[in-house]
Amino acid sequence: MNTAKDNNHAEGDDYRSFLLLDEISKDASVTQRSMSKDLGIALGLINSYVKNLVSKGYVTVSGIPKKRYTYYLTPKGFKEKTRLTYAHLKNFTNLYRVARKDFSRLFLNIKELSNITTVAFSGIDEITEIAYLSLKEAGLELTNVFDDDSVGKDFFGLTVRPIEDAAELKPALIVITSFAGSSELKEKLLKGGVEEKIICDISADGWIKKITKDKGEAVE
């Protein structure tokens, strides 16, 4: 019998396989190192996934010219990429629905049960824009966005800043808005000097922390 953990692991494998097949389909000369950097996946994992895709007949590898590997999707690989694309779109639709519901509940709780009016985000991925829409609907203001992988980029008029800046800027509340890697983001915030009580981790407790009305701060 498969457990929920097994299912989540399988879904994660499918998603990473989809990302690699997509990268290879766009550029046969792409390197494992560049895929690791662009996708944010450890180089060792990239190597393991590529070997798995090759063993399944989805990808072929050419060593010509010497010391330069070129990857090609096989007809079977293109078929698998199409299947995973549809699966990903379906999963994203489900993700959007759940994220919208949970973020709306979170920000309405903050609005109604505390005196917090400004929020900062940490982490940028598929759900961050969903979080922003829910935040604006609740009438809250986004003051900062922290993400080490997107420093300097624009997010709805705000320049993304490194996580190390969070403690100095002292936001009232930081919501971790990343579908994956939330534990790593929280650890970076804590190491950077941010108080744990102002960090709201979307992956914990249904994404909603209790908000105290008198103090206006998130608590466990």
- In this prediction, the residues of the chain whose per-residue pLDDT falls under 70 are 1-12, 64-67, 179-181, 202-220
**At 108, which CATH number?**
3.40.50.720
Tell me which residue range forms the domain holding 173. Answer: 95-219
**Same domain membership, residue 136 and residue 67:** no
**At 20, which CATH number?**
1.10.10.10
**Same domain membership, residue 112 and residue 57:** no
pTM of the model: 0.59
Three-state secondary structure call for residue 153:
coil
Domain count, the chain: 2
pLDDT at residue 214 in the model: 35
**Same domain membership, residue 117 and residue 195:** yes
**DSSP letters of 83-118?**
HHHHHHHHHHHHHHHHHHHHHHHHHHHHHHHSS--E
- Residue closest to 166 by CA, chosen among 198, 132, 189, 150: 189
**Same domain membership, residue 194 and residue 139:** yes
**Same domain membership, residue 191 and residue 112:** yes
**Same domain membership, residue 153 and residue 64:** no
**Same domain membership, residue 108 and residue 187:** yes
Alpha helices (H) in the chain, listed in sequence order: 4-26, 32-39, 43-55, 75-113, 128-137, 166-169, 182-191
pLDDT at residue 212 in the model: 34
Residue 146 lies in a domain: yes
pLDDT in tens, 120-174: 999 998 789 999 999 999 999 999 999 998 999 999 999 999 999 999 999 999 9
pLDDT at residue 219 in the model: 35
**Same domain membership, residue 63 and residue 9:** yes
**Same domain membership, residue 114 and residue 64:** no
Structure token digits, residue 83: 């299947």
Whole-number average pLDDT of the chain:
83
pLDDT at residue 206 in the model: 41
